[in-house]
A and B are shown apart, each in its own frame.
Chain A
């Protein structure tokens, strides 16, 4: 299946990546090429094959449900692009 400009715009919105005017056409070509190539998988018979999500040999371990205080607020906020009074600052969301 080939990728359309509409698909690229929809996917870019889902991924929260702003695309410039004209960029969508280029991306449509590139993504189309990749998706067409991926279609080779259609030739592989996977009927009755359970998907494998990951490789883990051990059972998922359990741990105690304990509150840990590993990071101080100041340490975390030290990397914030904008902060005030111990909070991250973002543009107004609620009027």
Chain B
């Protein structure tokens, strides 16, 4: 399927009748089978996929059809969707098959998308390397120049990033609680959008931290991600935090608009002493690309940035400890054998079902919410959260958008065994926007000296995705990031 580079090209080929949705689905399934070494897909169901494709061809024959009619997509394992398991890549949800459809995947289905399968991720979306998955690590299609070492695709949406970067699908869903769409997008050279909190319904998405979680698209191109977001976004009465604001035409924002006169803020606090020279250079280039297209570059301050990561690692685990209390071995998922009593059933089912990182976060979350510590940690972190949001409000009174690096480093080796705190540092540029509920996106910018991709992050004000996408498309045009990884993971005759 390497002949199609954009969803739009694929849609046009389907409209012309050059290819059918069934042919596309079959070719994708064959390609996925050959690329199984990347460990991107964790559940497939060809019967369901082909039935969806057949129904799509039938709709097209009747001149019906939606905005993603016949387009094969990958779905992160965090989404509940009919016909596939939804295990959050956790042992504790082993065997769980939802009998309902998440709002976001339902919208994608309603517009004709065909689902290829469920994508690997860090267990319960907790991680930045996709190594905490019960299915084992997902592998980044990119390798350093001259190296055969396997690298992480980032996380938590590592399967989505790897699949899109390897061309197994042109688009995939992701979720982002602290950077889980943007960081893997950066590490795999693709586009990832985390919309404003409330833009997409969380209904039917397995919860991690409910005040931070947002679904979003991952794709090779800004226009494709914009089109997917247009379909995924919109009000859903089943999620009280989903916004009733109208959804603008993001696809139009991605095409034929420019950044002339836009004010782009450069938050100076993101340029700490530890920032690598390669990242700094790419950031400077990005600002120059926007300036060359008529934007005005302005330095701004986000003075509470240094506290964002610590506040996040109180708030996210606190919410996770509450959300994950539901996994008790009683109603679904894995149950410990021969429990002594009900208490033992809960405690051992959870001990056996959760991996180390999830346990750590549940314990931290329980600790910061426990009597005597609630004010010192949880309330404190929420006060810091307000200060962080106020910083952004002030910045957006001066500028339209902010430009920063997406991740502090490129892809690193699988099994690097970072300690938890070093792993958390991967989110240093991304968490503040989740705390403030703002939209942000990563756009591939360049390869570093090792030939590994790096992304730039654009941040917009709440519900300001349109301008952000316009600037994202401007960065994309200037970056000319057309290079693809060498398909070392394919059987030799197929490379």
Contacts and interface: CB of A to CB of B under 8 A. Distances in A.
A56 B198 CA distance: 7
Contacts, number: 169
A90 to B, nearest CB: 6
A6 interface: no
Given A16-B328, A37-B310, A60 B240 contact: yes
A67 interface: no
Contact of A55 (B307, B321, B343, B389): B389
Interface in A3-25: 3, 7-8, 10-20
A17 B324 CA distance: 11
Given A18-B351, A31-B360, A41-B311, A71 B100 contact: yes
B53 interface: no
Contacts of A7: 367
Interface stretch (B159-167, B221-229, B278-286, B375-383): B375-383
Contact of A88 (B244, B325, B330, B436): B330
B370 interface: yes
B313 A38 contact: yes
Most chain B Cβ neighbours within 10 Å, of A8, A53, A71: A53
B387 interface: yes
B321 A15 contact: yes
A91 B337 CA distance: 11
B197 interface: yes
Contacts of B488: none
B346 A16 contact: yes
Contacts of B307: 40-41, 43-44
Contacts of B350: 15-18
Contacts of A90: 330, 342, 345
A33 B360 CA distance: 11
Nearest to A78: B99
B243 A38 contact: no
Given A51-B385, A52-B389, A61-B240, A31 B329 contact: no
B67 interface: no
Interface size class of B (residues with CB under 8 A): 35 or more
B463 A57 contact: yes
A8 B99 CA distance: 37
Nearest to A55: B437
A19 B351 contact: yes
A85 B325 CA distance: 26
A55 B363 contact: no
B417 interface: no
B383 A17 contact: no
A79 B339 contact: no
Interface string B344-371: 1111101100100001101110110010
A58 B362 CA distance: 30
A37 B341 CA distance: 38
B237 A63 contact: yes
B332 A81 contact: yes
A11 B370 contact: yes
Nearest to A50: B386
Nearest to B99: A75
Interface string A42-85: 01101001111111111011010000001100011011111000
B96 interface: yes
Contacts of B347: 13, 16-18
Given A31-B363, A38-B310, A79 B97 contact: yes
A14 B370 contact: yes
B357 to A, nearest CB: 10
A12 B304 CA distance: 32
A55 B344 CA distance: 38
B377 to A, nearest CB: 7
A71 B198 contact: no
A41 B381 CA distance: 7
A1 to B, nearest CB: 9
A16 B343 contact: yes
Contact of B383 (A10, A46, A82): A46
Given A15-B366, A79-B333, 9 more contacts: A3-B367, A12-B363, A27-B359, A30-B360, A33-B419, A38-B310, A60-B240, A79-B99, A81-B332
19 contacts: A7-B367, A10-B370, A11-B363, A17-B362, A30-B360, A30-B420, A34-B420, A38-B310, A41-B384, A46-B380, A49-B383, A55-B197, A57-B462, A61-B237, A78-B97, A78-B99, A88-B331, A91-B341, A92-B341
